[in-house]
Amino acid sequence: TIKRSSDTDWVTFSSGEFFSVEGSSSFDVNVEIETAYLCEYL
């Protein structure tokens, strides 16, 4: 699950899904198992 600074609740994403984070902001990640993610700056 992730929680962007603009979110009020945690949001769940499944394998293969993606999410966007606005510039000059942050996000938290909460995982149950070891997880990798890819950041792309567009």
pLDDT of residue 12: 96
Task: Give the Cα separation of 2 and 8 in Å (integer).
Answer: 11
Residue 25 and residue 19 in contact, taking contact as beta carbons nearer than 8 Å: no
Region for residue 16 given its phi and psi (left: phi exceeds 0; alpha: psi -120 to 50; beta: otherwise): left
Task: Give the Cα separation of 9 and 11 in Å (integer).
Answer: 6
pLDDT of residue 15: 87
A 10 A CB-CB count for 29 gives 11
pLDDT of residue 17: 93
Range of the domain at 6: 1-42
pLDDT at position 1 over 90 = yes
pLDDT of residue 37: 87
| Span 3-42, pLDDT tens digits | 999 999 999 999 899 999 999 999 999 999 998 888 998 8
Task: Name the domain count of the chain.
Answer: 1
For the whole model, what pTM was predicted?
0.76
